[in-house]
Homo-oligomer: A and B are copies of this chain.
Amino acid sequence: MKPSIARYLPVLDWGRTYSRETLVNDLVAAVIVTIMLIPQSLAYALLAGLPPEAGIYASIAPIVLYALFGTSRVLAVGPVAVVSLMTATAISQVADQGSAGYLAAALLLAALSGGILLIMGVFRLGFLANFLSHPVIAGFITASGILIAASQLGHVLGINARGHTLIEIVQSLVTNLNQINPVTVLIGVAATGFLFWVRKHLKRSLLALGLGAMPADILTKAGPVAAVAVTTLLVWGLGLDSEGVKIVGAVPQSLPPLTMPPMDVELIRLLLVPALLISVIGFVESVSVAQTLAARKRQRIDPNQELIGLGAANLGAAFTGGYPVTGGFARSVVNADAGAATPAAGAFTAVGLAFAAIALTPLVHFLPKATLAATIIVAVLSLVDLSILQKTWRYSRADFSAVLATIVLTLTLGVEVGVSTGVILSLALHLYKSSRPHVAEVGLVPGSQHFRNILRHKVETDPSVVSLRVDESLFFVNARFLEDLVLNRLSGNKDIRHVVLMCSAINEIDYSALESLETINQRLESIDVRLHLSEVKGPVMDRLQTTHFLDRLSGQVFLSQYDAWRTLKP
């Protein structure tokens, strides 16, 4: 165990061994990430319905705080697509977009999310993230990607399109189709096409031209910057803003301001559940990015410490004019690929962004929103992967149902309903399956001491001994099922003298199931059949020994099923 301060402040670990070489690596990575983050931060602020500077502010303090408290060496924390969408959904329920209340709600949401993450971290509740199954996460990310792309389509066409579900967005697009602005469409479609081409083909072309892998990669990642620069120059040079092309406009030239989230009890009550969902989704997304990147270098991530790092980052966002943040995939991969060696790269990125916030914001005045929307669409469409439906369909109908429900409900009823239903449904399906467990009647595989299902294998059996292997822990949701099963197996069969419950798959017997076993034992005794147990696991046996069940058991407890068979067969 590390001393407790170092445990909560990983910076003390890597800071001690910081060298000149590491510094160079971190600085190079910081420059590359900064350039990439400027358009991305503006774009995600647009997605969240916030002024563009909020995206930049949300990238500065959080990245520094995560560098101090987080355990990943390369994770880049800031605004990300899914969390931006969830933020827009949550705060537009309590305030109108563009109002002061909307900004304040974003700060409060970040503060709540930060508080929730910190509390989860201190109480080591990182395991709660496991309640989001992989298929539910995959479905949710896919559906969010579709929603986000749809929501940005309006910007590409120059249409005011609002809404938090696919239906609302499509309705809004269709209703306002007459607002279409041809110049905006030209810019938007060209930028989208260009960015798709960059993503799909540029790297290969550059490699074919003999460029090294690293510069080719960086040039490819700089695609959005190029799109931003070219379209901004076009709008400025041709005065296209007077043709109806919506631009970013004036962005204050300032360091992140000190802000105070509003401490309004009613607002807190309204935002608590969204904040919880944002925290959990953000945490899951961030940890999976961090683990993927850590595995490459055989480093390890401590999920509970990650909660503290992300909590601090979100509190940082709340007090410096930002909104909820988490570890982003794209920015973290770029950071890692660019050679970032320690979290100091993040701190340098923050310095770069602070400089941008002061000096470069006038340059984006004429940046068309359509270009930002194009960068979002191209980025999120890579999240969309409907193959999860096909994969889960083949593997398990339960998993498929959970994915399908998550996707359909996220698209039609919004992100909050979608992900909550996905989680609840996957838990409910798991419990339902546990409530009717698979039970195999087993017999001896000839020439071995091994017992298998009589329906699947050629095995030896005896009419007076029934051996049942219950493939599930015994607990309240299936306790009654077991009673019915055993009694039904015996009904009308006079040859049976012994019932052996083979307990190799029984990992727990709770109090309800204990009562059911007592009932079964009594009922069998009353018709002169003995109940035996075999292969009871250590922890289960320990617990049974605290009760009178073993004294009352009409039969014996055997170490192995083979012992039971040898003893009981006539």
Q: Which residues of A come within 8 Å of B, CB atoms? A: 127, 130-136, 295, 391-392, 394-396, 398-399, 426-427, 430-431, 433, 435-438, 440, 445, 448-450, 452-453, 456, 471-473, 475-481, 504-508, 510-512, 514-515, 523, 537-539, 543, 546-547, 559-560, 562
Contacts and interface: CB of A to CB of B under 8 A. Distances in A.
B507 A471 contact: yes
B440 A538 contact: yes
Nearest to A129: B480
B523 A295 contact: yes
Given A133-B512, A395-B514, A452-B559, 17 more contacts: A130-B435, A130-B477, A130-B479, A134-B512, A136-B476, A394-B547, A398-B510, A427-B431, A430-B477, A438-B507, A440-B537, A445-B559, A450-B562, A453-B537, A471-B537, A471-B539, A505-B507
23 contacts: A130-B476, A131-B476, A133-B510, A133-B511, A134-B476, A136-B476, A394-B547, A395-B546, A395-B547, A426-B476, A427-B427, A430-B476, A433-B508, A440-B538, A445-B559, A445-B560, A448-B562, A450-B559, A453-B537, A471-B507, A471-B537, A472-B473, A504-B504
Contact of A449 (B398, B438, B450, B473): B450
B450 A392 contact: no
B504 A505 contact: yes
A131 B445 CA distance: 37
Number of identical protomers: 2
A299 to B, nearest CB: 12
Given A504-B505, A537-B471, A134 B479 contact: yes
Given A399-B511, A433-B508, A511-B395, A537 B132 contact: no
A476 B136 CA distance: 10
Contacts of A453: 537-538
9 nearest A-B residue pairs (beta carbon):
A133-B476, A134-B512, A471-B507, A399-B511, A449-B449, A450-B560, A504-B504, A133-B512, A505-B505
A391 to B, nearest CB: 7
B448 A130 contact: no
Given A135-B511, A511-B399, A562-B448, A430 B475 contact: yes
